Structure 1
Amino acid sequence: MRIASGDWALTLDPAAGGLIRALTRRGADILRPMPEGSAEPLESACFPLAPYANRIAHGRFDWEGETFSLTPNHPAIAHPIHGTTWLGEWMVRDSRGDSVTLVHAHTADADWPWSFALTQTLCLSAQGLTARLAITNTDARAMPAGLGFHPWFAREDVTAISFGAKGLWLGDAEMLPTEHTAPDALGDWSTPSPLELPHLVDNCYTGWDGTVRIARRDGDLVLESAGTPYLHLFVPQGADFFCAEPQTTMPDAVNRDAPAPLEPGATRALEMTIRSA
């Protein structure tokens, strides 16, 4: 499926994972395009994170007096990661030339023991993309709920990025948070900085100010998100992409900084914008 507006065009997979397959501006890749024929979510351009973001350590956590155990959900990663909806089936609820709304329903199971409904809306304008994600608890019990987006930005034309944050979680070899430290511990992103680093960055920044500025040779970009105090930055050495992921919770949040309970019938939402500066 394809939507477009002005200089912007987006292709997506409306069934598997609610995945964005490509996002372009004036024909140039803004997000890393998904290989033709691929069904691997980790090769996509962007996918939604729900009902939790990033890893849950060993899949184990306590919630309201009960202990839960989840199994890993991707063969490449030892811990359950990014929730269930990036691996689930979605349906198109509404589609227009410049927008689409997808819905996903989850019934409580071993992968997530609460039922919920999720809505993802993707809208293009002359300025860029606005993506909205909303989760509603359809279970009879309160549940923990974290949301996020996982955009994979094309890196070739990017010269620098910058953003503000108050802290940074260092991680262990399995990318689980270990120590909260100063935001410049792995590089100072408060001023425009190149992505060529001597080390991997796969870390969560706390107290994020909600904006990432991306300098590109063909025109700068801005990533914005409201209500997401966490930014997970993934900058692998030598790759053709980087990820800047707005999230409502930190990795392993249910074991560290648990989200407020989402009561039965209640909804939690976030919005992400990727636009020309």
Structure 2
Amino acid sequence: MNAPMPPTGEQFVIADGGTRAVVTEVGAVLRAFEVDGRAYAETFDETERPPRGSGSVLVPWPNRVRDGRWTWRGTTQQLALTEPAAGNAIHGLLRYTQWRPVERTPDSITLAAVAVPQPGWPVPVATTVRYAVGPDGLRVTHTVRNAGPEPVPFGVGAHPYPRVGEAATDDIVLTLAASTVLPLDDRQLPAGPAVPVTGDDDFRGGLPLRGRVLDAAFGGAAPAPGDDLVRHRLDAPDGAVELWADPDFRWVQVYTPDDRPGRGRVVAVEPMTCPPDALNSGQDLITLAPGETWTGSWGLRPV
């Protein structure tokens, strides 16, 4: 008798020297990332579903859509309410899809999936994600192609939980390359336009996470002068990890749940190309013409 399929399907291990990552078939999830045996991303057992969206790929939109409803070319679209308690559609359409491996080497894996036309999503979007490890850490490259006959707007995000070995989240200092913060209501939807960061919301110079409970969307993420990448960072007493991203990732969601199995309090640093409810606001959405392709990358690098 065949063994039952684990919730995340086949596990793809990629490695280069002491740098190693595990990626799953279902959801194309980053399940583990470590260097020389030290973890730089939270992990979970392959018999579990990704807790709190851990490591997920968020396509064709990240974050939330208010009431699951948006308008495309004058027609109201109604998405499934995948966050039913809050009445939202959340984190795209491909988190529970079996992604197809299309290229594999010892140090990389490329997986492909299609967000097919369905209630609430009218145009097929073909996407790939390539995970590669090497001396400079982990690189994740997303491609999105409009596979339909009409233009389509979209956004991309990822849901990693960076960590620095065994350092507790309360011992982390978080630095964000973000100049604005988006006010959110109790449904985690925009309650007004983004405003400049000040005080306890200004992580540009680094702020400790001790005592901070966050589920916040930060915008205006941009490279520093003379740089070509957006750079966020977690510093622990005995090391650090950088989350870098291409400039299209203008937004970052920071989330600090306290119920991670085996770890308790953790921190998600989620690079996003657009803010919550962008399918309604239009802010920083990317629109592809038929046959057009977009590519963007982010990664994790021990410092």
| TM-score where L is the length of structure 2 | 0.84
For the pair 1:171 / 2:205, whether they are aligned, the reply is: no
Tell me the distance in 1 between the aligned counterparts of 2:96 and 2:197: 32
For the pair 1:148 / 2:162, whether they are aligned, the reply is: no
1:221 to 241, 248, 251: 241
For the pair 1:73 / 2:86, whether they are aligned, the reply is: no
> Partner of 1:35: helix, strand, or coil?
coil
Tell me the distance in 1 between the aligned counterparts of 2:136 and 2:40: 13
> After superposition, where does 1:31-180 map in structure 2 within 5 Å?
31-38=41-48, 40-43=49-52, 45-74=54-83, 78-110=87-119, 112-154=121-163, 156-157=166-167, 159-179=172-192, 180=194
2:269 to 232, 241, 244: 244
| Kept after mapping to 2: 8 A contact 1:224/1:274 | yes
2:219 to 206, 209, 231: 206
The total of aligned residue pairs comes to: 274
Between stretches 170-179 and 232-241, larger displacement belongs to: 232-241
Tell me the distance in 2 between the aligned counterparts of 1:41 and 1:108: 25
The equivalent residue for 1:262 is 288
Identity rate, percent = 25
For the pair 1:17 / 2:54, whether they are aligned, the reply is: no
1:5 to 12, 16, 20: 16
Where structure 2 has 5 or more consecutive residues not aligned to the other structure, the ranges are 1-11, 223-229
Tell me the distance in 2 between the aligned counterparts of 1:136 and 1:146: 12
| Kept after mapping to 1: 8 A contact 2:77/2:121 | no
Between stretches 235-244 and 258-267, larger displacement belongs to: 235-244
For the pair 1:232 / 2:241, whether they are aligned, the reply is: no
> Partner of 1:190: helix, strand, or coil?
coil
1:254 to partner: Cα distance: 1.4
Distance change in 2, residues 1:195/1:169 (3 Å): same
> Partner of 1:196: helix, strand, or coil?
coil
> Partner of 1:80: helix, strand, or coil?
strand
The equivalent residue for 2:37 is 27
> Partner of 1:178: helix, strand, or coil?
coil
Tell me the distance in 1 between the aligned counterparts of 2:297 and 2:255: 20
Across the aligned residues of Structure 1 and Structure 2, the Cα RMSD in angstroms comes to 2.0
1:44 to partner: Cα distance: 5.8
Where structure 1 has 5 or more consecutive residues not aligned to the other structure, the ranges are none
Tell me the distance in 2 between the aligned counterparts of 1:92 and 1:51: 19
For the pair 1:197 / 2:206, whether they are aligned, the reply is: no
Tell me the distance in 2 between the aligned counterparts of 1:261 and 1:145: 6
Distance change in 2, residues 1:44/1:202 (3 Å): closer
Per-residue deviation, residues 77-121 of structure 1 (Å, max 9, x unmatched) = 631111011221201111111101111123211252221111100
1:235 to partner: Cα distance: 2.3
The equivalent residue for 1:188 is 202
1:192 to partner: Cα distance: 2.2
> Partner of 1:2: helix, strand, or coil?
strand
| Kept after mapping to 2: 8 A contact 1:147/1:269 | no
| Kept after mapping to 2: 8 A contact 1:21/1:46 | yes
Tell me the distance in 1 between the aligned counterparts of 2:99 and 2:46: 20
1:128 to partner: Cα distance: 0.3
Per-residue deviation, residues 167-214 of structure 1 (Å, max 9, x unmatched) = 10011111111132222364331222211234x311111111211022
| Kept after mapping to 2: 8 A contact 1:236/1:242 | yes
